[in-house]
Structure 1
Amino acid sequence: MHSLPYSAPPDTGLDVVHADAALLVLNKPGGLLSVPGRGPGKDDCLARRAQAVYPDALIVHRLDMETSGLIVLARGAEMQRRLSAAFQSRQVDKGYVAVVDGRLAEAAGTIDLPLVADWPNRPRQKVDHELGKPSLTRWRRLAYDPAQDATRVALAPETGRSHQLRVHLLALGHPILGDALYAPPAAQAKAPRLLLHADTLAFAHPQNGAPLAFACPAPF
């Protein structure tokens, strides 16, 4: 089992993108857990930091510790129930940006590979055509950097499996730069952190159904 050391980034205050009586949209820094982790020393997380300011804040979905970007928290149990249902029924449009190793030959594509937990190597996930759950990612090439031999891509996951984007891009032969769990050493060494950021979110407001859309540019 892989257990990465956890050192939460300094608490410089919440980066609040949106706040109202029903929900919060925050920009999570890379390196911060979404919820408390297992084991000692893993209590510092976005949920705890949010609750220190907004005591009724409840987690709805998660971003990987290493991933930065937009995350929604509900205010109160009823809003949590409604927002969770929207995520589970795929009524939320999520967009990510990543920088991956190598040059993507196509301009855009779809990765349709079933994923399952790689139990002996937790928390890793793997492609498994027999036991895996259906997982679909759409991607679009944004720019190629010949100096770094790396491609910036826009990603739209249709499903929300654990580590989906990281494993799908690895399976495509283009691991995300700085990925300590999945990238080979050369691709890991090209970036000081995982270059994956949740940059757009769109969904209906859980109280009145009004369309909400948020954008947060990547810090890399």
Structure 2
Amino acid sequence: MEPASLENLRVLYHSADFIVVNKHWDIRIDSKMWYEKQTVQSQLRHRFPELADPGTYYGFRFCHQLDFSTSGALCVALNKAAAGRAYRCFKERLVTKAYLALVRGLVESDRMTLNFAIGKNTSEGKTHMMCIEGVEGCENPKPCQTELLVLEYGSYNGDPVTKVLLQPLTGRTHQLRVHCSAIGHPIVGDFTYSLRADSAPYRMMLHAYLLRIPLEQEPIQVTAPDPFLPSLDASWVPQQTVLSLEGALQGLLECGRDREEESPEQDIGTGEKKHAPLESEEQIAQCQQWLCEWALD
């Protein structure tokens, strides 16, 4: 991927209800700051002015979030009904997401389950960061789980690194970055969680590779091309393959389909509840906030 511009938005999937784009690194999804002219929202408005909805603040309904520094698959709903259907899949944790990353050092275990609870860091100078439970100043940590699979060992600019596939099973802010840092393998180029030390790479090496939203009438499954290849970045030199990306994805998708089949709570195509338990006050508040934000009926 070349650096972002208004003109070079890459569309991975487009239907009457959804667009999935390959978000560039170092670009915000949207912004209220007048001086930030280049965002995914502005790219969409430039490319598809006829699809912008004046009934929303940003003109487009983003179904989920990606960090400023993260690239990859980002889904946008084009109407209220479609946004509602996608929201239900995210809410019921039926969406399968997988990220590619280069992390510092050689990860010893081929497969790891990371279970660090994550909260907001309230320490002076770190209030824009998240942290794991037990760290001084960690406020309101919540359970968090990430699956890590080792794909390749190699080097980046001569330093040992590991290429991994990360599957977030929860959706906390900066989850993958915090979890990788917590096990001593921060993501290459993560300026924030290296405490401003890792500034040499041209980008943070985290990419949303796979997105699967199991909508009954329109199942969406897209991959955003792998940017961490030696043919695209000569600084990355693979030396040993542990697991192919195709093999890792196959197992991940099978687990995702199992979750879909086991979910008894609602018909994800119609949104009708089957045997849904009562929601907690926190869940209700989150739902109402989401509905207000996207101007849903």
Query: Do both share a fold (TM > 0.5)?
Result: yes
Structure whose residues are more often helix by fraction: 2
Aligned to 2:28: 33
Contact 2:6/2:42 (<8 A) preserved:
no
Q: Encode CA deviations 1:37-61: one digit per residue, 9 max, x unaligned.
A: 5x45235311232134131431111
- Residue of structure 1 in register with 2:181 after alignment: 170
Aligned pair partner of 2:168 in 157, 162, 174: 157
Three-state SS of the structure 1 residue aligned to 2:142 is coil
Q: Which residue of 1 aligns with 2:152?
A: 143
Structure 2, gaps ≥5 residues long = 54-59, 229-297
CA contact under 8 A between 1:176 and 1:187: conserved in structure 2?
no
Partner of 1:45: 39
Give the corresponding residue for 1:106: 109
Q: Percent identical across equivalent pairs? A: 30
Q: Which residue number corresponds to residue 208 of structure 2?
A: 198
| 1:122 has 2:119 as partner | no
**Aligned partners of 2:212, 2:62: CA distance in 1, in Å?**
17
- Cα gap change, 1:149 to 1:184, in 2 (>3 Å): farther
| Matched-pair contact (CA < 8 Å) for 1:109–1:139 | yes
Length-normalised TM-score, structure 2: 0.66
Which runs of structure 2 are paired with 1:13-28 in the superposition (5 Å)? 13-28=8-23
Matched-pair contact (CA < 8 Å) for 2:209–2:226: yes
Partner AA of 1:11 in structure 2: L
Name which of structure 1's ranges 124-133 and 62-71 shifts more when overlaid on structure 2. 124-133
Distance 1:79 1:199 in 2: 22
Higher strand share: 1
1:94 and 2:88 are equivalent in the alignment: no
**One-letter code aligned to 1:154:** L
Partner residue, 1:132: 141
Tell me the SS of whatever aligns to 1:139. strand
Q: CA deviation at 1:12?
A: 2.5
TM-score scaled by structure 1? 0.87
- Distance in 2 (CA, whole Å) between partners of 1:75 and 1:23 is 5
Q: Which has the larger radius of gyration?
A: 2
The alignment partner of 1:132 has SS state of strand
Q: How many residues align?
A: 209
**Amino acid of the structure 2 residue aligned with 1:36:** S
| 2:194 paired residue number | 183
Kindly provide the amino acid, as one letter, of the partner of residue 202 in structure 1: R
Shift of 1:76: 1.0
Q: 1:183 to 1:118 in 2, by over 3 A?
A: same
For the residues of structure 1 that align with 2:38 and 2:224, how far apart are their CA atoms?
A: 23
Q: Gaps (5+ residues) in structure 1? A: 1-7
Provide the secondary structure at the position in 1 that maps to 2:181. helix
Cα contact 1:110–1:138 (8 A) shared by 2: yes
SS at match of 1:151: strand
Displacement of 1:111: 0.5
Contact 2:27 2:39 in 1 (8 A): yes
Q: How much is the aligned-residue C-alpha RMSD, in angstroms?
A: 1.9
Partner Cα separation in structure 1 for residue 37 and residue 5 of structure 2: 14
Paired with 1:114 and 1:79, the residues of 2 have a C-alpha distance of 32
Cα distance in 2 for partners of 1:150, 1:188 equals 16
CA distance in 2, matches of 1:144, 1:199: 19
